[in-house]
Structure 1
């Protein structure tokens, strides 16, 4: 608990929790990062699931770097948001589940990029299953992120 209170009393924690513009700015950055990361991930998964077959799957490889940029923006903004309310968020089950889902979603999407995008345009049923799992994981992470404010 001492570490959690220290995070809340840090400059970042106090800026997020105690200033007029700290929380809205950091939350907006978090939304932009989420939209970038999850948008690219869903774009890839939807393509692998069969939408827009005229677009080669391998042409989506450069977007992975954009998705990683969104992830790092989310990592920084999410850490700042956590510092603003660490003593409550640490014990919030929706928060914990969201973090696990984000890590799983990132791993599944990375795996999908490695298999489908960088090697060939051939999409197997296993790739489709992987894409569906990644899509469900990302959507679940968003849902649990929204539940953070309602679960204690």
Structure 2
């Protein structure tokens, strides 16, 4: 990816201009964090239940919250793209951003594994424990989303120069 081409897209589309207004960046960052909270609040609760917490709550009941998490993820993709095209040089070469993206990839692959192998046979009424493979998938999911949050927060502390990225 070419930093200049991405920056030009941000400028030409008006995203860069909006993000650099008095309220642009803070508003989009607030929306990004709220959506991440909804995502973790829905997917994280399901993962914790699968790991054995709150066994009084049936797993299918928590699974009904997943569409809210999917919608929140979509909001995060849009707001995250707005950050990226507004300052691509601060993201492309940032090790925290790269690690955040890696954690998002792990979470995405994990969702594919869950829905292709385990979701259809998922039972889990009140007091029922999830199977060991489902617990592993839930632990990976929780760890990946915690990584997304942690590395996302660290992005602001790493404002790297171009020479930091040896793979770019």
The reply to whether TM is greater than 0.5 is: yes
What is aligned with 1:93? 95
- Three-state SS of the structure 2 residue aligned to 1:50 is coil
Q: Which has the larger radius of gyration?
A: 2
Distance 1:83 1:27, change over 3 A: same
RMSD of aligned Cα (Å): 1.8
Does 2:15 align with 1:12? yes
**TM-score, normalised to structure 2's length?**
0.81
Q: State whether residues 58 and 117 of structure 1, in contact with CA within 8 Å, keep that contact through their aligned partners in structure 2.
A: no
What is aligned with 1:145? 152
> Counterparts in 2 of 1:1-152, with a 5 A limit?
1-10=3-12, 11-16=14-19, 18-109=20-111, 111-112=113-114, 117-121=119-123, 123-151=130-158, 152=160
More helix by share: 1
Q: Which consecutive unaligned segments of at least 5 residues does structure 2 have?
A: 125-129, 161-168
Distance 1:84 1:12, change over 3 A: same
Return the alpha-carbon distance in structure 2 between the equivalents of residues 44 and 6 of structure 1: 41
Return the alpha-carbon distance in structure 1 between the equivalents of residues 114 and 39 of structure 2: 14
Return the alpha-carbon distance in structure 2 between the equivalents of residues 101 and 28 of structure 1: 21
Q: Which consecutive unaligned segments of at least 5 residues does structure 1 have?
A: none
Distance 1:73 1:29, change over 3 A: same
Name which of structure 1's ranges 54-63 and 93-102 shifts more when overlaid on structure 2: 54-63
Number of residue pairs the alignment of both structures matches = 151
- Three-state SS of the structure 1 residue aligned to 2:22 is coil
